[in-house]
Amino acid sequence: MLIVQKYGGTSVGTKERIMAVAQRAVNTKREGNSVVLVVSAMAGETDRLIRMATEMHDAPPERELDMLLSSGERVSAALTAMAIEALGQRAVSLTGRQVGIITDSMHTKAKIEHVKAERVQLALKAGMIAVIAGFQGVTGDYSDVTTLGRGGSDLTAVAVAAALKADLCEIYTDVDGVYTADPNVVKNARKLDRICYDEMLELASLGAKVLQSRSVEFASKYEVPLVVRSSFSTEQGTLVTKEDTDMENVLVSGIACDKNQVKLTALGVPDKPGIAAIIFKAVADKGIVVDMIIQNVSADGRFADISFTVPKTDSRSALEITKSVADSLGARTVIMKDDIAKISIVGVGMRTHSGSAAKMFQTLSDNNINILMIGTSEIKISCVIEGKYSELAQRELHEAFELGKTA
């Protein structure tokens, strides 16, 4: 088999951890596989570099930031290659440029346009383990280094696996798979053996930090079989793969919780056509991503209350712009609520089975948890509740949907 293994920052965080990664790669190779590694910067290194950069410049030029940050992965790739060689197995470290990970020139958040991987293939043919510096690419004319944004090493791994048509892309991290809920909150949360791309995508974007969503999208598009597993154990992990009929029998696969949003409400906005458009255009113009939106119209139909959620990090500027727009529209006031949690249940089975929304609302209601907002997609239902109820809600929903039981 051709296997791509991606190791995150904690997996290469110390000398001993790098040696363990090298040993695992060599073992995989000696079992008769072709092995490609993708490594992140050593844990803490990227933060250290960013701290140095912000000491130099309040808003460091992004091209320079990429030059700086990409060095972290070069270091861990070179060290990992050395550790593999020390075990008697040939290895070569390769940068994003050397692999030919061609991106656009949007520094610090570049998009992959194409992966050549010629040098990877040459290395594999020569019986070597290729160790790729994750998180980085190069502009189309090979002139400047770019980086792919936080969690970009996952994307490197998936894109390289797709280019090489790898049989498997293993994402090694500090958890041993994808769980039905956060095991720190729900004691009997269960590790899933399998999950489909769409479910993983919902869970990833809903706050389960196991995989970066862009890499799941990429894996889904090119049908790269992903395995999420721990670099600290030999546990099997969770396979992220194409949806199959088995999966549809499971109503809900998992529960996610996102506590990194705030809720803004513009009260008493005169209810005229185009009001919502004006508010959300102003917010979008500031580069702020709005997640959930609800609008109530007053009994007499003259005023509306508009609520929406934005990431906590954008709360201040979102409040500011919303206030100024609301003022100009003659709204009564704008209030912000920051202690909220968005709880979501996810499962492809919802496509074909009804009743899960009702069960979710009932469960919350049975526990006197007030629902502030509701949002749905084909395979998920999200409820915004008060933050203090988030742990209780996760536990009760986990119980209600019987997620602790093996399917």
Contact set with a second copy (CB under 8 A): 15, 18-19, 49, 52-53, 55-58, 60-61, 63-65, 67-68, 70-72, 74-75, 77-79, 81-83, 85-86, 92-93, 95, 98, 119, 143-144
Least separation in angstroms between residue 96's CB and a second copy is 13
Taking the least distance from each CB to a second copy, the nearer of 17 and 395 is 17
Least separation in angstroms between residue 336's CB and a second copy is 33
- DSSP letters along 185-250, please? T-TT--B-SEEEHHHHHHHHHTT-TTS-HHHHHHHHHHT--EEEEETTS----EEEE---HHHHT-
What tokens appear for 278 in the block? Answer: 């004006």
Q: Which amino acid is at 239?
A: L
**Under a CB-based contact definition with an 8 Å cutoff, are residues 102 and 115 in contact?**
yes
Among the listed residues 33, 268, 255, the one whose alpha carbon sits nearest the alpha carbon of residue 127: 33
What tokens appear for 329 in the block? Answer: 């529209």
Least separation in angstroms between residue 156's CB and a second copy is 17
Taking the least distance from each CB to a second copy, the nearer of 62 and 174 is 62
Least separation in angstroms between residue 245's CB and a second copy is 48
Taking the least distance from each CB to a second copy, the nearer of 45 and 182 is 45
Taking the least distance from each CB to a second copy, the nearer of 45 and 291 is 45
In the DSSP assignment, the letter for residue 270 is E
Taking the least distance from each CB to a second copy, the nearer of 18 and 195 is 18
Taking the least distance from each CB to a second copy, the nearer of 148 and 240 is 148
Beta-ladder partners of 374: 383
Least separation in angstroms between residue 153's CB and a second copy is 16
364 membership: H or E segment, kind and range: helix 356-366
Least separation in angstroms between residue 85's CB and a second copy is 5
**Under a CB-based contact definition with an 8 Å cutoff, are residues 112 and 137 in contact?**
yes
Taking the least distance from each CB to a second copy, the nearer of 130 and 203 is 130
Measured CA distances, 58 to 50, 51, 52, 128, 177 (Å): 11, 11, 11, 43, 38
Least separation in angstroms between residue 283's CB and a second copy is 30
278 membership: H or E segment, kind and range: helix 275-285
Judging by beta carbons within 10 Å of its beta carbon (0-12, 13-18, 19+), is residue 15 exposed, middle or buried? exposed
